[in-house]
Structure 1
Amino acid sequence: MTVSEPVSETPWLQNEDQKPLIQIKGVTKKYGEVTAVDNVDLDIYRGELFCLLGGSGCGKSTLLRMLAGFEDLNSGTITIDGVDMANVPAYERPTNMMFQSYALFPHMTVEKNVAFGLEQDNVPKLDIADRVHEILKLVELEDFKKRKPKQLSGGQRQRVALARALVKRPKLLLLDEPLAALDKKLRKQTQFELANIQEKVGVTFVVVTHDQEEAMTLSTRMAVMDAGRFKQIGTPTEIYEFPESRFVADFIGSANIFEGRVVEDGADHVRVETGICDVFIDHGHSVQVGAKIWVALRPEKIRLEKSDNPVSGQNQAAGVIDDIGYLGETSIYKVRLENGQIFDVSAPNQARPMNRTHRITWEDRVNISWDPSSAMLLNS
C-alpha cells in the first residue's frame, strides 16, 4: 500500500485553489412519501476522515450508499474528484466500501480475503502478492495471513475487512458503522488504530456512525444529521464547544439547557436573565437585548461544592443532591436547584475516598458555579 503525500490538516480552511474531493450539491433522496435525505450540500476534502453522525433513520447511511452508487438520487449532484457520478455505476467509481458485518469469506484465509478484489480485477499475481503483504504489514496481520476468519478476534476481523478495502487503493473509502460489532473496550482501542491507519495511507474516509464518542475520536470534521438534513458541520471541538442549536448541544455529549432573556449585550460580553441566576458570558454574541435565548452548560464545566450556606448571584446557584451515578473515573451528580430544575454536574474521581464524611452524597446541600467562558448561547 503506497503511503500518500501528507495533506493539509485543515484543507477546508485553505484558499479557493484547494478543491474538494467530494462535492455534494442539493442532494435529495425519497422513498415514496418519506424524504430520507433532504436537499443537502457538503464538501469533503482529500485526506479527511469525515464522519456522518446521527440517530437511526436520520439519512446518514442513505447518503453513504448514494456516494457508493448503491442508491440513485432524486435530485442534486455528487462529484468525486471532479467527475459527476450521475451515470457512473458503483463498480466503476473510485470508491470502496467496508460494511458493518465485514462480509469476509469464511472459507478463505486472511491473505485470500484481502487478495480477492485484486484477483477479480486481473491484477498480475506478483503485484497482488506485494500489495497484500504491504497492507497486512500496515494493519499488523502478517502473522495471521494463513488463518481463516473464525480463527480471529473481532478486532482482527475488522482489520482484515479494512485491509481488503484499502488494498485496491481507492480514492475514497466508505465505512458503515465499522466498529459497531466490537465490545466497548476494543472499540475504543480500534478507534485510534483506524485513525492512525487512515493518516498513514492518506485515503479519504467517510464514516457513518451513531456513536458520538466514536465520531469525536475519529473525525477531522463531522456532520450532525437529523431528519435528512445537516444540523451542523465542523470539527469535533467546534461542534462540542460551539453548538449552533439545542439539538446539537444535547445530541453531542450532555448539556444542561435552560431558557433566558438577554438583558445586556456588549461588544465583549452578554448577560442573560434566567430563572436560575444571572448568566454572564465574557465573549460577544450576535443577540439583541430582550431576545429570548437558550443557555447550555456542559456538566464538566460546572464546579460543585458541599455547603450549608446557599449562594445566589452571577453564574452560581444552590441546590440539593438528588441522585448520584458512579462511573469509576467520574461521578455524575443530579443537583435539584431551588427552582426545581435538575442540573447534571460531572466530577473526576481523582482520589479514592478515604474519609466518607467529606464525600458529597445524597440529600447534601451544595452550591454550583461556572466560569464566564463556559456558558453557550443557542438561538434555536
Structure 2
Amino acid sequence: MTASNSVSATPWSDTDGQKPLVELRGVTKKFGDVTAVDNIDLDIYAGELFCLLGGSGCGKSTLLRMLAGFESLNSGSIKIDGVDMSDVPAYDRPTNMMFQSYALFPHMSVAKNIAFGLQQDRVPKNDIADRVQDILKLVELQDYGKRKPSQLSGGQRQRVALARALVKQPKLLLLDEPLAALDKKLRKHTQFELANIQEKVGVTFVVVTHDQEEAMTLSSRMAVMDAGRLQQIGTPTEVYEFPESRFVADFIGSANIFEGRVTEDGADHVRVQTDVCDVFIDHGQSVKEGGKIWVALRPEKIHITKSDTPVTGENQVSGVVDDIGYLGETSIYKILLPNDQIIDVTAPNQTRPMNRQHLITWEDKVNISWEPSSAMLLTS
C-alpha cells in the first residue's frame, strides 16, 4: 500500500480546484431533548490526518459514528467522495472503523484477524495472503502472524487493529480514541508510528481523541468541539498560537487569561489596560477602542527572573512564588501578583541546580515579563 502521488501534502492549505473527500453540511443529531451534534459544517480533504478533539460528552464520538453509518442524522447531509451517504448503510460505505477496544477475535491468530474482513468480502485467497503479508510488514509485525492477541503487548494489539482496518483499503479510516488503552510512554511513541503509517498509505484518517497532546502530535488539522459545536478548525500551530476564544485558549494547553479594556487600537499595535499590568501587542487586531477584551498568555512565553526590585510598565509585573511544580524537564511556577491573581510560568530546566543560591524557590520575589508578540487577544 503506497500513498497516492496525486494527493497534495497539505490540500487544506491550497483548496483551489480541490474537492473535499468528506463534506458535512448542517449535520445535527439529537437524543431525545439532548442535542449531541449541533448544525456542523466541515470539509476534510484526501490525505489528511484530521483530529476531532474535545472533552467527554462534546459530541465527537457521535459525529464519528455518523460518518461510519452507525448513527442516523436528524438533519443535514454527509458526502464521502461526492456521494451522499444518507441512504448508504455502514457496510456499504467506503469507510472502516478502528474501535477503542480494538475488538480483536481472541481465538484467531493475528493473520486471521487481519484477513477476516477480506474473507467476508470474498476476496480471492491468494490476494488475501498477499495483502495480509504486505500490511503486516507495514506495521512491522511480519513475524507475529501466527500469534494470538493474548500473546501480544498493548502496542502490538493496537497495530493489529490498525492493520485489520487498513487492509480493506478504505477511502476513510475512522479511529475512536485509538491510543487510549496504552500507557503514557507507549502512547507517545505510537503517536509518531501512527502518523508515519498514515503518511505511507495515504488513507484519510479521522481520529477522535480527548487528549490535547495527542491531537497536536497526530493531526494535520484539528477541530476543537464543545457542546456539539465546532469551536475552531485549523492546524495545531494555528489553534495553539491563535485561539479564537477563551474556551479554545484554555482547552488547548495552558493559558493565563485576564480581562482588560482596549486603550489604543492602532494599525500595527494594540494597548490594553488590565488589573495585572498594561499590555502592549505589536500587531494590529480588529478590536473596539474602549471595549472589553481578554488577554491570554501561554506559560512558556513568560520570562521569570529572581529580583527584589519591583518593576512597573507594559508587559511586566512583579510577584511572589506561591507554589512550584517540578516536572523534570520543566518547572511550573505559580506567581502571586499584587491583585491576588495567580499566573503560571513554565521554565525549562536547562542546567542542573549545582548552586542553590540562584534557584527560584518558594516565597521568592520575582519579576515576570513577555514579548509584545506573545500576548493573544480574545474577544469572546
TM-score normalized by the length of structure 2: 0.99
Tell me the SS of whatever aligns to 2:136. Answer: helix
Q: C-alpha offsets along residues 123-181 of structure 1, whole Å, 9 cap, x if unaligned?
A: 00110011001000000000111111011000000000000000000000000000000
C-alpha contact 1:6 1:202 (8 A) present in aligned 2? no
* SS of residue in 2 equivalent to 1:352: coil
The superposition leaves residues 180-225 of structure 1 with CA deviations (integer Å, 9 ceiling, x where unpaired) of: 0000000000000000000000000000000000000000000000
- Provide the C-alpha distance between the structure 1 equivalents of 2:171 and 2:90, rounded to a whole number of angstroms: 14
1:351: how far off? 1.0
CA distance in structure 2 between the partners assigned to 1:49 and 1:3 by the alignment: 13
Q: Corresponding residue for 2:217? A: 217
Kept in 1: contact 2:2–2:202 (CA 8 A): no
Counterpart of 2:28, as a letter, is: T
Cα displacement (A) at 1:6: 5.5
Output the CA distance in 1 between the equivalents of 2:111 and 2:15.
43
Aligned pairs for 1:128-167 (under 5 A) are 128-167=128-167
The equivalent of 2:26 in structure 1 is 26
Contact 1:4 1:200 in 2 (8 A): no
Question: Who is 2:199 aligned against?
Answer: 199
Equivalences, count: 380
Q: What is the rounded CA distance, in whole Å, between the counterparts of 1:4 and 1:178 in structure 2?
A: 24
Structure 1 residue 15 displacement after superposition: 4.1
CA separation in 2, counterparts of 1:199 and 1:155? 19
1:272 corresponds in structure 2 to 272
Match for residue 376 of structure 1?
376
- In the other structure, the counterpart of 2:179 is 179
Is the 1:51–1:208 contact (alpha carbons within 8 Å) kept by the matching residues of 2? Answer: yes
**CA-based RMSD:** 0.7
Give the 4+ runs in structure 1 shifted more than 3 A.
none
Using the aligned pairs only, state the percent identity: 82
Q: How far apart in 2 are the matches of 1:16 and 1:68?
A: 28
Amino acid at match of 2:272: V
Q: Name the residue aligned to 1:294.
A: 294
Partner Cα separation in structure 2 for residue 357 and residue 75 of structure 1: 65
Match of 2:106 in 1: 106
Unaligned runs of 5+ residues in structure 1 are none
Q: Which whole-Å CA distance do the structure 2 matches of 1:237 and 1:14 have between them?
A: 17
Name 1:359's counterpart in structure 2.
359
Q: Hey, what's the Cα distance between the residues in 1 that align with 2:273 and 2:17?
A: 46
**Any conservation in 2 of the 1:263–1:271 contact (CA below 8 Å)?**
yes
- Name the amino acid aligned to 1:238: E
2:339 aligns to what? 339
Equivalent position of 2:70 in the other structure: 70
Deviation per residue, 1:260-296 (Å, 9 max, x gap): 0000111110000111111000000001110100000
Q: How far, CA to CA, are the matches of 1:275 and 1:234 in structure 2?
A: 32
TM-score (norm. length: structure 1): 0.99
Aligned-pair distance for 1:368?
0.1
Q: 1:212 to 1:245 in 2, by over 3 A?
A: same
Q: Secondary structure at the match of 1:143?
A: coil
Return the offset for 1:235: 0.4
Unaligned runs of 5+ in 2: none
What residue in structure 2 maps to residue 232 of structure 1? 232
* Cα offset, 1:355, TM superposition: 1.0
Q: Which amino acid aligns with 1:118?
A: L
Instruction: Tell me, in whole angstroms, the C-alpha distance in 1 between the residues paired with 2:156 and 2:94.
Output: 26
What whole-Å deviation, never above 9, does each CA across 1:10-45 have from its counterpart, x for those lacking one?
212324410000000000000000000000100000
| Equivalent in the alignment of 1:283 | 283
Write the letter of the residue equivalent to 1:363.
E
Q: Structure 1 residues 297 and 232 mapped into 2: Cα distance closer, same or farther (>3 Å)?
A: same
Taking the aligned partners of 2:194 and 2:58, their CA distance within structure 1 comes to: 24
